[in-house]
A = this chain, B = another copy of it.
Amino acid sequence: MRTGERADWGSPYDEGVSEIIELCRRAREASYALAAASRATKDAALHAMAAALRDNTETIVAANSKDVAAAREAGTPESTVDRLALDPGRVDAMAAGLEQLAGLVDPVGEVVRGYTLPNGLELKQVRVPFGVVGIIYEARPNVTADAAGICLKSGNAVLLRGSSSAAASNEAIVAVLREAATQAGLPADVIQGVPGDRAAVKELMQARGLVDVLIPRGGAGLIQTVVTESTVPVIETGVGNCHIYVDEDADLDLALTILLNAKTQRPSVCNAAESLLVHASVADQFLAKALPALAQAGVTVHGDPTVVAQGKDIPEAKDILAATEEDYGKEYTSLDLSAAVVDSIDAAIAHIRKYSSAHTDAIITRSQSAARRFTQSVDSAAVVVNASTRFTDGGEFGFGAEIGISTQKLHARGPMGLPEMTSTKYVVIGEGQIRT
């Protein structure tokens, strides 16, 4: 048996297990058919799912309006309600996303490496699906279709656990997708919603051996819970405390353009910049331009004493707050920015090592040796030279699809596309070889 299996969810031969375990088992069983399915079958299923979403727009929007009404009644902020709400345009976008997946190369079956051993054994390392993937996510119901599509294309049965605030929407979407998958000859159970309360989610997180990997998508609180409470392996996604370091050899105009883009183009996302570091030798010159520009863009700066002092001399840049230790470690996801002056590139690297979430960190410099030192010494999922942090994204990286951005080091790091949703196995072909 797999280690940890029986202790956690009972013998595989047990009767009378819980609803969640039963659901996991059905996913496992369905995963065998999906793993063996050809790309043609999977793409046909994706097209059927897209068509079914469009055909059932009315039902889906009606279900969603119940969630929206309940959210408004509960006093949910309008920005959150907006993320929750579906209209025919958003349903169509979900369908288009599934069609796009159908156009991508199938990662399953790719030979990662292969050679013949001295004894004549032919060895191949081949991409295979994980098997059963659990996605635990918040708010936006479009994740339901998106995650279901990515899992299906990569050959994985999926267990979808959305937030209770989107329960009616998710239930409607899952029902439509399941029915559509069967039209392509796949078992409906390759896509399942996970019902129940927190205890049910806890059971899902402990279903080691039945669920191969869990991917949480959402805020830091959700990710923290899944990471600490799961015995199923987890791929951690998302938290981004991204830095921009303006080197002594930086083109300062270019630095300012990049900083403003990274901070303000879409401040709510994980690859937005949260912290600015400036080399002391260019601090006066850079901050004299940057502080008014940031103020004009609506950015609140939380600065170290040097930055605060500098701000006092610039009338357009008043209201600079004093940064605390906590500020440096923070993912604001708002128009806030921590800022500090550093004496050297090494001090910048040390600051990043201490405070960064290791998502994306950038240096602005004209110096080849500074760029080399920064990219070698900063150990983040993405290390950027002379460009915005906002490019760390599966779409921008050309992956065609993205299930999330891993900020951990095991299995996948950075944007995760279809290949990151697979494992591998070795296939060894012989003609009677034995070990002596």
Show the binding face of A for B, using Cβ within 8 Å.
1-4, 7-8, 12-13, 32, 35-36, 115, 117-118, 121, 123, 125, 128, 130-131, 208, 212-213, 220, 223-224, 227-228, 231, 233-236, 239, 241, 251, 254, 257-258, 261-262, 265, 325, 329, 353-355, 357-358, 371, 375-377, 379-388, 390-392, 396-398, 407-411, 413-414, 423-436
The 8 closest A-B pairs by CB, nearest first: A387-B430, A261-B434, A409-B423, A390-B435, A411-B411, A387-B433, A382-B426, A384-B428
B429 engages A265 (CB within 8 Å): no
A413 engages B409 (CB within 8 Å): no
A391 engages B35 (CB within 8 Å): no
Residues of B within 8 A of A385 (CB): 427-430
Contact for A414 among B262, B329, B426, CB less than 8 A: B426
Contact for A3 among B130, B239, B423, CB less than 8 A: B239
B227 engages A3 (CB within 8 Å): yes
Between-chain CB contacts (< 8 Å), 25 pairs: A1-B329, A1-B357, A2-B239, A2-B407, A3-B223, A7-B228, A117-B397, A118-B398, A123-B397, A128-B379, A213-B409, A233-B410, A251-B432, A254-B432, A261-B435, A379-B425, A381-B425, A381-B426, A383-B425, A386-B429, A386-B432, A387-B434, A388-B433, A390-B434, A411-B411
Residues of B within 8 A of A208 (CB): 227
Q: How far is the CA of A426 from the CA of B390 in the complex (A)?
A: 14
Contact for A391 among B8, B233, B382, B435, CB less than 8 A: B435
Residues of B within 8 A of A224 (CB): 3-4, 7
Nearest B residue (CB) for A235: B410
A410 engages B407 (CB within 8 Å): no
Closest chain-B Cβ to A403's Cβ sits at a distance in Å of: 14
Residues of B within 8 A of A35 (CB): 379
A435 engages B396 (CB within 8 Å): yes
A36 engages B377 (CB within 8 Å): yes
Residues of B within 8 A of A236 (CB): 3-4
Nearest B residue (CB) for A229: B231
Closest chain-B Cβ to A273's Cβ sits at a distance in Å of: 11
Residues of B within 8 A of A425 (CB): 379-383, 413-414
Closest chain-B Cβ to A269's Cβ sits at a distance in Å of: 10
Closest chain-B Cβ to A8's Cβ sits at a distance in Å of: 8
Q: If A396-B435, A432-B258 touch, does A1 touch B426 (CB 8 Å cutoff)?
A: no
Residues of B within 8 A of A358 (CB): 2
Nearest B residue (CB) for A431: B386
Q: How far is the CA of A388 from the CA of B120 in the complex (A)?
A: 13
Nearest B residue (CB) for A118: B398
Q: If A239-B3, A386-B430, A429-B385 touch, does A423 touch B410 (CB 8 Å cutoff)?
A: yes
Residues of B within 8 A of A228 (CB): 4, 7-8, 231
Q: If A231-B228, A379-B128 touch, does A426 touch B392 (CB 8 Å cutoff)?
A: yes
Residues of B within 8 A of A254 (CB): 432
Q: How far is the CA of A208 from the CA of B426 in the complex (A)?
A: 31
Residues of B within 8 A of A258 (CB): 432, 434
B233 engages A233 (CB within 8 Å): yes
Residues of B within 8 A of A431 (CB): 386-387
Residues of B within 8 A of A396 (CB): 117, 435
Q: How far is the CA of A397 from the CA of B118 in the complex (A)?
A: 10
Closest chain-B Cβ to A324's Cβ sits at a distance in Å of: 11
Residues of B within 8 A of A12 (CB): 354
Contact for A413 among B36, B388, B397, B423, CB less than 8 A: B423
Residues of B within 8 A of A375 (CB): 427
Closest chain-B Cβ to A389's Cβ sits at a distance in Å of: 9
Residues of B within 8 A of A428 (CB): 382-385, 387, 391-392
Residues of B within 8 A of A123 (CB): 397-398
A426 engages B383 (CB within 8 Å): yes
Q: How far is the CA of A13 from the CA of B228 in the complex (A)?
A: 22
